Chain A
Amino acid sequence: MFFTLLKIELFKISKRPRTYIAFGALAVLIFLIQLALKANGDEFVGLLLSAQEDTFEIPRKEMLNGYFVCFFVLNMLLIHIPLLVALIAGDQISGEAGMGTLRFMIGKPISRTQIILAKYCASVIYIVLMLFWMAILGLFLSNILFGTSDLFIGRQFDVIVLEASDIMWRYLLAFLFATLGLSVIAALAIMFSVFSDNSIGPIVTATTVVIVCTIIQQLTVPLFENTITPWLFTTHMLGWKGFFYPETYQMVGENSGAVIKGSIENISAIYKSSAILFGYILLFLGIAIWQFRKKDILT
C-alpha cells in the first residue's frame, strides 16, 4: 500500500502548478548567473580571489570553466533552495487540511503514519528531481557553455586545484549530500504542516527557522559558535563542500602540497554531518507522526 500511496502523492505533486515554480526559478537564477559570469567572469574571479592572488598565481581564464560555475551556483543556491522545498513540503498536510481533502484521505484504509511517510518520501523525490534539474543546468549546461578544466577553489588561506578528471565524482556526492540536507528541510516543513490547517503558516514558519538558524550560524561570536552552531542543521547542510577539499601530500619535495586524487580531507566531518542531519530527519518526522496520529481532523 505504501508504494501506491507514494505514487498517488507524486501524481498529486505533478499536477499542482506550484510544483513547477521551483524548476522555473532555478532555471532563471542559473541562467542569470551563467549570463553574468559569461559577461563579466574575469572581473568577478579577480574580485573573488583578490586575497589569494597576492600569494598564489591563479590562471583566471582557465579558472572560469563549467566546474567552477557549478560550484559557484551550488554555493549561492543551496542556501535559498530550502525556501523552494518548504513551499512544497509545508503544504503536504496543511494544504490537504485546508482544501478539505484530508478528511477524505483519513477515511480510507490507510494508517496515518503511512500518509506522513509517503508524503515525506514524495517530497524527497521532488528534491532529488530539483537537484537533478540543477545539475543539468548548473553542471552540464555550464560545461557546454564554459568548457571544462581544473577546478580552482579558494579557501581562507589556500587555493585548492582539483584536476578535471577528479571532479565529477565529487559533484555526484555533493548533490547526494545536498539531497540529505534538503530532506531535513522537507521533514521540518512537514512537521509544521501537521500542526496547521492552512498552507501559509508552515511554509513561513519553516522558512523562518531556516533563516534564523542561518543567521545564528553566520554570527561568529563565541556564545553561539561553541554552543548552538555546531548542532544547527544549517551548519551541517554545508557539509557538501567537504567533498571538494582533498588531502594533500605533506612531505617535503616535489609533490609537497599537491592534491591526492580521489581523496577527501576530512571524511569524518562529513560522516558526522550526515549523522546529525539524519538525526534531525528522524526527530522532525517522529514529532510529525506522533502529532498526526493523535490529531483530530476538524477541517
Chain B
Amino acid sequence: MSDIIQVKNLSKSFKDVHAVQDLSFKVPTGSIYGFLGQNGAGKSTTIRMLMTLIKPTNGDITIFGQDLRKNPNDILRNIGAVIERPDLYKYLTAYENVALFAKLSRIKVERKSIMDLLDRVGLASWENSSMQIFSQGMRQRLGIATALVHNPELIILDEPVNGLDPQGIADIRNLILHLKNDMGKTLVVSSHLLSEMEMIATDLLIINKGKKVIEGSINTLLKPEMAQIELIVDHADEALAKISTTAWQQSFKKRIGNTLIFEMNKNQISDFNVMLVHHNIHVLSLRPKHSLEDYFLEQTTETVSQ
C-alpha cells in the first residue's frame, strides 16, 4: 500500500513557541489515519499545514506524490477538509453553501448530486434552510458535505465529532466507515475521543508537545490479541517473589506501588488467574487493560515525564 501523504521533518514555530517539531509521518492510501494528541499537541497546526493555511518553518509535505509547496492547487483539488469548527456561511442555505464550495473546488455539480450529498448527510429536507438555525451536529454534517462535494481522494476531518450527541457521533462514525469501505477514500481524522478512534482508525499517529510519540497500524500498536493485565495485590513484594518462581515471570512488565502490570495473550488470562489462586496470592483487582485510551495515556504520560 503506497502512502498518500508523506511528511518529513515538519516544524512550525510561532515566535518562541514551537508548535510542531521535526514531525515525520506517512499516511497509507485507503486508511483511516487517526491523529491523536492532547489539546495543544500540534494536531490542528499540522492539519493546517497540510491544507496550506499555515506555512511550515521547516520540512517537506508530499501529497499524492507531489510537493505541496510547488503544486498546492493540484493537490488541494483532491482534498476535502473540515478544519476545527464547521464555520460555513451562516447567511446562506445548506444547498447554497454546498454549491458554493463545489464552485470553489472548480467543479460543476448538478443539483441532483448536491441533493444526493445532502441526503447522505441527513440534510436533504433542510436544503433551503439558512445555516443560522442549524444545530452543531447539522453544521458538522453540512461541513462534511462541503468537503465531499468534489469527490476528493483524501478527506481530512479535524475533530469531526466535537460537540455532537451520541447519535450524531454514531452518524459521523458510520459516514467515515462508509467513505473508506464503500468509496475507497483515505481519511485523516483527528479527535480527542479515543474510544471513537479505536472503533474506526486503521492507523495511528500520536503526537505530544509538537513531537511524534508513536506511529503505526492500530493492529501493531494495540496488539488486539494481546492484553495488558493490571493486577492489584495487598502485598506486592510477596506476590512478585511467588510469581518469579513461575513461567509468568516473563510476562511481568512493571510495578507501580501495589499494582503489577503483565502482558500476555488474551487466552492466557484464565490460566494466569489459576496460578494466582494456586500460589495463594491475595488479589484485590485483576483487570485487562488494552484500550486505546490506556495506550494513549501511557504513551503521552511517558513523554511528558521525560
Residues of A within 8 A of B (CB): 1, 4-5, 7-8, 11-12, 15-17, 99-101, 103-111, 294, 296-298
Contact = CB atoms under 8 A, between A and B. Distances in A.
A69 to B, nearest CB: 36
A103 B51 contact: yes
B81 to A, nearest CB: 5
A4 B87 contact: no
Given A109-B72, A296-B53, A103 B48 contact: yes
Given A8-B100, A8-B104, A109-B106, A297 B48 contact: yes
A298 B47 CA distance: 11
Nearest to A100: B87
Interface of B: 14, 48, 51-55, 72-74, 76-77, 79, 81, 83-85, 87-92, 96, 100-101, 103-106, 146
A35 B89 CA distance: 40
A103 B104 contact: no
Which residue of A7, A8, A104, A297 has the most chain B CB atoms within 10 A of its CB atom? A104
Given A12-B89, A99-B89, A297-B54, A109 B81 contact: no
A104 B91 CA distance: 16
B83 A1 contact: no
Nearest to A108: B104
Interface of B is mostly: loop
A110 B77 CA distance: 9
A108 B83 CA distance: 12
A16 B100 CA distance: 15
B76 A108 contact: yes
Contacts of A104: 81, 83, 87-88, 101, 146
B20 to A, nearest CB: 12
B104 A105 contact: yes
A107 B79 contact: yes
B106 A1 contact: yes
B83 A103 contact: yes
B73 A107 contact: no
15 contacts: A4-B106, A8-B103, A11-B100, A16-B91, A99-B90, A100-B87, A103-B48, A103-B83, A104-B146, A105-B104, A107-B51, A108-B101, A109-B73, A110-B104, A111-B73
Contacts of A298: 48, 53-54
A106 B105 CA distance: 11
Given A17-B91, A104-B81, 15 more contacts: A4-B106, A15-B89, A100-B85, A100-B87, A103-B51, A103-B53, A105-B104, A106-B53, A107-B52, A107-B76, A107-B83, A109-B72, A109-B76, A294-B55, A297-B48
B88 A101 contact: yes
B87 A99 contact: yes
